[in-house]
Amino acid sequence: MSATQILFWILSVVALFSAIMVLLSKNPVHSVLWLIAVFFSISGHYILLNAQFLAIVNMIVYAGAIMVLFLFVVMLMNLNKETEPQKNLWLKLAGVVSGGCLLMILVSLIRQASEVTNKQVLLKDGNIGLIKNLGKALFSDYVVPFEISSVLFLSAMIGAVVIGKKN
């Protein structure tokens, strides 16, 4: 087992554990922190896949900006364990069972799918995840969607301001 494989398993376990802890934490602040852990482990996966740009962006945008925003809101609202609303046990059970069923079915489906058997994922090799190559593609072939996404941001910003404004 090579070092990359070991890293893959470690990162996977961390991601799954943190994700489960997001759900299990009673305190919303802890949930946010566990989610940040999930994002970091996913960024780790990106690095493992030699997708450096996405790894950095994921860390900056998700773990940095978005999760800080979440944390900010949670703290602004002063949410904690006591204020946390709880669903009744049966509904929780129904949710877990149906989610589990979905996972089971999808996994069994993937095991049968011939399209993905014996396909390998390049880990270190391949340079498409580098900033240079992505930047070239982004500012040549995908420049129009890129510009449109800036409009999306603008409108999202205006929307957030309008919604958040007091009356």
Partner 1 sequence: MNQLVYLVPLFPLLGFLINGLGRKSLSKSMIGTIGSGAILASFVVSLMLFFQVKNGAVATVNYFNFINVQNLTIPFAFQVDQLSSLFLLIITGVGFLIHLYSTAYMHEEEPQHFGRYFAYLNLFVFSMLLLVMGANYVIMFIGWEGVGLCSYLLIGFWFKNDNYNYAAKKAFIMNRIGDLGFLLAIFWIIAKLGTVNYADVFTNDSIQKLSSTDITAITILLFVGAMGKSAQIPLYTWLPDAMAGPTPVSALIHAATMVTAGIYMIARSNLLYSASEVAQNLVAIIGLATALFSATIALKQNDIKKVLAYSTVSQLGYMFLGLGVGAYTGAVFHVMTHAFFKALLFLGAGSVIHAMHHEQDIRKMGGLKKHLPITHITFLLGCIAISGIPPFSGFFSKDEILAAAFAHNPIYWGLGVAGAAMTAFYMFRLYATTFLGTFRGTQDQEHHLHESPSAMTIPLIVLAVLSVIGGFVGVPEVLGGHHALHEFLSPVLVTEQHHEIAHQTEYMLMGISVAIAAIAIIFAINKFSKKPDLQDAQGLGKTLENKWYIDELYDAVIVNPLNNLAGFFKNVVEKSGIDGIVNGVGRLVSYSSRQIRLIQSGQVGGYILFMVMAIVVIVLIWVNDGFIYKLFTK
Partner 2 sequence: MPIQYYIVLSLALFCIGIVGVLTRRNAIIIFMCIELMLNAVNLLLVAFSKMHHNTVLAADKATQAGIEGQLFVFFIMVVAAAEVSVGLAIIVMMFRNTHSVDVNFLNRLKN
Site for partner 1 in 97-136 (CB under 8 A): 98-99, 101-102, 105-106, 108-109, 112
- The sign one gets for the Cα dihedral 157, 64, 84, 86 is positive
- Which H, E and C letters describe 17-80, residue by residue? HHHHHHHHCCCHHHHHHHHHHHHHHHHHHHHHCCCHHHHHHHHHHHHHHHHHHHHHHHHHHCCC
Q: Is 7 in the site for partner 2 (CB under 8 A)?
A: no
What gap in Å lies between CA 41 and CA 51, rounded to an integer? Answer: 14
**Residue 53 beta carbon to partner 2: minimum distance, rounded to whole angstroms:** 7
**Residue 66 beta carbon to partner 2: minimum distance, rounded to whole angstroms:** 5
Site for partner 2 in 75-104 (CB under 8 A): 76-77, 79, 83-87, 91-92, 94-96, 98-100, 102-103
Of residues 10 and 105, the one with the C-beta less far from partner 1: 105
Q: Is there a contact between 15 and 42 (Cβ–Cβ < 8 Å)?
A: yes
Q: Is 120 in the site for partner 2 (CB under 8 A)?
A: yes
**Residue 152 in tokens:** 């999306």
Of residues 97 and 128, the one with the C-beta less far from partner 1: 97
Q: Is 59 in the site for partner 2 (CB under 8 A)?
A: no
